[in-house]
């Protein structure tokens, strides 16, 4: 075996190694970019409608547990939108009862959870503070 044959085998090994590393990095990047889509549970992909709203909320609490932050993010976003849109419809003399659900129906549970988290941040409320306020109301 000559020097050029050893050099070709060595070069081929490094080329294959580089291709494998690039492939692994591409797969890892895909998982990082699509983490939410991959790891979201089936309930987070459910679309909320007038017909299934109560059932979906019960399923969320059952699946995640009543003390899970996601349950509180969902509750916050839904309450926020119902109060805001409900008051807006009252002041504009809108008699449509579904007006207060305008920003809820048609969205997935995951979207509302993400929006609840964002709304809490915008309103300078931590999920722990919100949990305490809900518990205080229940007493």
Q: What is the pLDDT of residues 55-67, one digit of tens each?
A: 999 999 999 988 8
What is the chain's pLDDT, residue by residue, as a tens digit (139 residues)? 556 666 666 788 888 888 888 988 888 777 776 655 555 678 899 999 999 999 999 999 999 988 899 999 999 999 999 999 888 877 778 777 788 888 999 999 999 999 999 999 999 999 999 999 888 877 6
Burial (Cβ within 10 Å: 0-12, 13-18, ≥19) of residue 84? middle
Buried b (16+ CB within 10 A) or exposed e, 1-33: eeeeeeeeeeeeeeeeeeeeeeeeeeeeeeeee
The predicted model scores a pTM of 0.68
Question: What's the pLDDT at 56?
Answer: 93
Tokens of residue 137, six digits: 């109301």
Question: What's the pLDDT at 55?
Answer: 94
DSSP conformation class of 48? P
CB 63 within 8 A of CB 45: no
114-124, pLDDT tens digit by residue? 999 999 999 99
**Which residues fall within 8 angstroms of residue 137, CB to CB, at 6 or more apart?**
none
Question: What's the pLDDT at 139?
Answer: 65
Residue given tokens 């349950």 in the structure block: 71
Residue given tokens 């996601």 in the structure block: 70
């Amino acid at each position: 075996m000559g020097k050029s044959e050893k050099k070709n085998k060595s070069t081929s090994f490094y080329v294959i190694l580089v291709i494998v590393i690039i492939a692994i990095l591409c797969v890892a990047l895909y998982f990082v970019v699509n983490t939410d889509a991959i790891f979201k549970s089936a309930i987070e992909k459910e679309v909320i409608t007038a017909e299934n709203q109560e059932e979906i909320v019960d399923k969320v609490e059952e699946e995640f547990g009543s003390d899970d932050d996601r349950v509180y993010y969902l509750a916050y976003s839904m309450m926020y939108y119902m109060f805001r849109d409900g008051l807006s419809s009252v002041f504009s003399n809108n008699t449509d009862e579904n007006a207060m659900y305008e920003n809820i129906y048609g969205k997935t549970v995951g979207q509302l959870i993400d929006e609840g988290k964002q709304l809490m941040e915008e309103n300078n409320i931590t999920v722990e503070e919100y949990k305490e306020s809900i518990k205080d109301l229940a007493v």
